[in-house]
């Protein structure tokens, strides 16, 4: 498909619990769109409550892509997301629909807009040694080491994310270069779509923190512990897998392992979700050329459509339906 015939691509971004899912569905219904999930946890089957996976009713008859495509035992990479998302965008365009990419995994959005850095392949021996060092020295020691060799990556990676800390250290040990240096060089070309960026978030952090706490408690009422327990009892999953390291899941998993009590699990689950939102806000501050909205504001959809519709008129697929 030639770039001139491509539909615009709508990127709907926001922190966790900001109302992206509902707005994406309403927008898709209004303009003839299909939704591509930009979420590293929604790809997993059997992980519904803790990911706030939209039900069939909540999807409002709109096709949703990249949801329930993997077993939790399987890894999912940024590169795989990029390949699949681009293929889906092309398919949606051929159907004369508009791709709406909605979610909170900002690294995936970044991979689409800025391409991918060509990182060295993983080294099993280096990874095994870093696993031993993590077990012996703790994640704090590995994080301090990362801060010494790559301050920018240390600022970007949360101290409680040993998987990403280890990967950054692994890249350095294999190549002799910091992870940051790879992202400063040209990688995969950017996508050929005209992007319309929409950002939604509560008006202030205090309100978002309240929403996050309420939602986590609601997830527990809906059966989050039982959902994680079903995964725990499978016997083939560990807390080193990306699926189990998803926010909320790793805290309940630790509770099931007896690392702390139920009350502490709730506190840690809420705190981890708030930390995720903080990192998402950091990414969003870099997106200066988008439209911003507040969660729950009056006539939200009307305001979004007022910004979006004038930018769709040049696309023949939408114009023929308007």
Mean pLDDT of 289-302: 93
Q: How far apart are CA 198 and CA 98, in angstroms?
A: 14
Structure tokens at 183: 């992202």
| Range with lowest mean pLDDT among 94-108, 159-173, 308-322 | 308-322
Q: How far apart are CA 242 and CA 104, in angstroms?
A: 16
224-250 pLDDT, tens digit per residue, is 999 999 999 999 999 989 999 999 999
Mean pLDDT of 281-307: 90
What is the pairing mode between strands 33-38 and 64-65? parallel
- Give the predicted TM-score (pTM) of the model: 0.82
Mean pLDDT of 194-222: 94
pLDDT of residue 186: 53
Round the average pLDDT of the chain to a whole number and report it: 90
Long-range contacts (CB closer than 8 Å, 24 or more residues apart) made by 295-298: 295/14, 295/18, 295/19, 295/200, 295/201, 295/202, 295/203, 295/207, 295/208, 295/211, 296/19, 296/202, 297/203
Structure tokens at 164: 């990403």
Sign of the CA dihedral with 123 first, then 128, 131, and 133 last: negative
90-134 pLDDT, tens digit per residue, is 999 999 999 999 999 998 998 898 777 777 777 888 888 988 988
pLDDT of residue 184: 62
Query: Domains plus CATH for the chain?
Result: 3-116+188-319 (3.40.50.300), 124-183 (1.10.20.140)
Q: Which residue has the higher pLDDT, 158 or 40?
A: 40
Q: Where are the strands (E) in 162-310, listed by range?
A: 195-201, 291-294
pLDDT of residue 320: 40
Structure tokens at 80: 């795989």
pLDDT of residue 6: 82
């Amino acid at each position: 498909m030639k770039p001139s015939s491509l539909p615009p691509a709508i990127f709907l971004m926001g922190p966790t619990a900001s109302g992206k899912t509902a707005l994406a569905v309403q927008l898709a219904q209004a303009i003839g769109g299909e939704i591509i999930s930009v979420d590293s946890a929604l790809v997993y089957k059997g992980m519904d409550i803790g990911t706030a996976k939209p039900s069939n009713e909540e999807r409002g008859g709109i096709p949703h892509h990249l949801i329930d495509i993997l077993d939790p035992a399987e890894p999912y990479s940024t590169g795989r997301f990029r390949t699949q998302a681009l293929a889906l965008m092309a398919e949606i365009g051929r159907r004369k629909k508009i791709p709406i990419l909605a979610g909170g995994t900002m690294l995936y959005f970044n991979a689409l807009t800025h391409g991918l850095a060509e990182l060295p392949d993983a080294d099993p021996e280096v990874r095994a040694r870093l696993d031993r060092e993590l077990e012996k020295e703790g994640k704090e020691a590995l994080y301090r080491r990362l801060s010494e060799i790559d301050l920018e990556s240390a600022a970007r990676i949360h101290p409680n994310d040993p998987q990403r800390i280890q990967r950054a250290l692994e890249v350095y040990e294999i190549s002799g270069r910091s992870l940051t240096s790879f992202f400063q060089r040209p990688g995969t070309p950017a996508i050929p779509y005209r992007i319309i960026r929409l950002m939604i978030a509560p008006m202030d952090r205090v309100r978002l923190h309240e929403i996050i706490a309420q939602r986590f408690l609601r997830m527990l009422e809906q059966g989050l512990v039982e959902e994680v327990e079903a995964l725990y009892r499978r016997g083939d999953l560990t807390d080193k897998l990306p699926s189990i390291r998803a926010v909320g899941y790793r805290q309940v998993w630790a509770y099931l392992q007896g690392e702390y009590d139920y009350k502490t699990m709730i506190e840690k689950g809420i705190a981890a979700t708030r930390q995720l939102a903080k990192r998402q806000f950091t990414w969003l501050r870099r997106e200066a050329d988008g439209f911003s909205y507040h969660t729950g504001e009056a006539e939200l959809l009307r305001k979004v459509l007022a910004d979006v519709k004038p930018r769709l008129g040049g696309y023949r697929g939408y114009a023929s339906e308007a």
